[in-house]
Amino acid sequence: MAINAATTSIVALHDDPELETVFQAVAAHDPTGERTAGVLRYTLDQLYDGQRTGRYRWDQLHKTEKTHCGTLVEINMQRTFLFDDGDVLDFTIDGIEVDCKYSQKKASWMIPLEARGKIILGLWASDELSKWSMGVVRAEERFLGSGGNRDRKTSLNADGRAAISWLFDDADLPPNVLLHLPADITQEVMADGASGAERIRRLFRLAQRTIISRTAVETVAQQKDAMKRVRGNGGARTDLAPEGIIILGQYQSHRLIARRLNLPEPGPGESISASVTPASPDTGVEIDGSWWQLTSGESHVFHAPALPTQ
């Protein structure tokens, strides 16, 4: 993911040295955008609080929680990038005061009176689209709408939105697994009345060949140490083996198996399940002393092999 310097901005960065300084400083902190994307993913998951509530969608939040999202984004950005406090605004970046704003609609940041004429670091994310953006703009009066709310906050007008210099625009947000599974699968996984262990088994049975994050596991299990419900020795890895399903985790040996099976490779805290069937050495991957390949179509179910424990 590369920095998307905004070539379409109606204000060139070099025309505003402070704006350019902030742009370059933020770019230096996060040249690929992965850290900011992680902040946004973490903040949304923090609001859902799935381990305790089972929630995983924006429309499941209360109005006050939605309103609090911008504050959490600001807090988590500062914790991640260690920006200094501002005297009046949120941050000081390279000695320049910056106000951090987040909105659910791109570039619809509400700008307070004290930030007029100042630099805005604006963010947006959509869990539904798995996209996010971040840009900088100076909140000049000519860029602000004529209206305002009771706190005298206002938003950018069309020229103001055109003046944004985007560091990243429509970049990929780490996906919300439960949100993007087919609705019938998510409903079956999360159906009332099932234990946490049973919901985990359903998740890995029904959502095969899909990377499952730790957050998704915690939301489905809704209990402490949810990851033990995935592992062997009584977890889903043991329970689903008679159905021919393996669950690969973050171990390097598991990642190698995933790669050889042409599956996405799970990263830290991630897992992926798949049905396997016996294969020949020239078509399969060796697991526990025998050869296996992904199941295709209807076939006899074989007990899945034991996976490496590290």
CA distance 132 to 160: 19
Please state which of the ranges 39-48, 91-100, 231-240 shows the lowest mean pLDDT.
231-240
Q: Which residues contact 190 (CB under 8 A, 6 or more apart)?
A: 54, 178, 199, 220
For the segment 284-296, the average pLDDT, to the nearest whole number, is: 93
Please state which of the ranges 3-7, 158-162, 215-219, 266-270 shows the lowest mean pLDDT.
3-7
Give per-residue burial for 253-268: e unless 16+ CB within 10 Å, then b.
ebbebbeebebebbee
SS3 of residue 282 by DSSP: coil
Question: If pLDDT is split at 50, 70 and 90, which confidence band does 224 have?
Answer: confident
In 3D, which of 103, 114, 104, 111 has the Cα closest to residue 155?
111
Q: Is residue 1 predicted with pLDDT exceeding 80?
A: no
Say how many residues make up the chain: 310
Q: Is residue 169 predicted with pLDDT exceeding 50?
A: yes
SS3 of residue 174 by DSSP: coil
For the segment 167-195, the average pLDDT, to the nearest whole number, is: 94
Q: Is residue 139 predicted with pLDDT exceeding 90?
A: yes
**pLDDT at res. 227:** 87
Question: If pLDDT is split at 50, 70 and 90, which confidence band does 38 have?
Answer: very high
**pLDDT at res. 150:** 61
For the record, the structure tokens of 302 come out as 């074989």
For the record, the structure tokens of 252 come out as 């390097």
Block residue for tokens 């902030």? 22
**pLDDT at res. 9:** 63
Q: Which domains does the chain have, with CATH numbers?
A: 13-172 (3.40.600.10), 177-294 (1.10.10.10)
Are 235 and 223 in contact by the 8 Å Cβ rule? The answer is no
Tens digit of each residue's pLDDT (9 = 90 or more) over 40-86 = 999 999 999 999 999 999 999 999 999 999 999 999 999 999 999 99
Tens digit of each residue's pLDDT (9 = 90 or more) over 95-126 = 999 999 999 999 999 999 999 999 999 999 99
Q: Is residue 8 predicted with pLDDT exceeding 60?
A: no
- Work out the percent of the chain whose per-residue pLDDT is above 70: 95
**pLDDT at res. 6:** 44
In the 8-state DSSP scheme, what is residue 46? H
Question: If pLDDT is split at 50, 70 and 90, which confidence band does 13 have?
Answer: confident
**pLDDT at res. 11:** 63
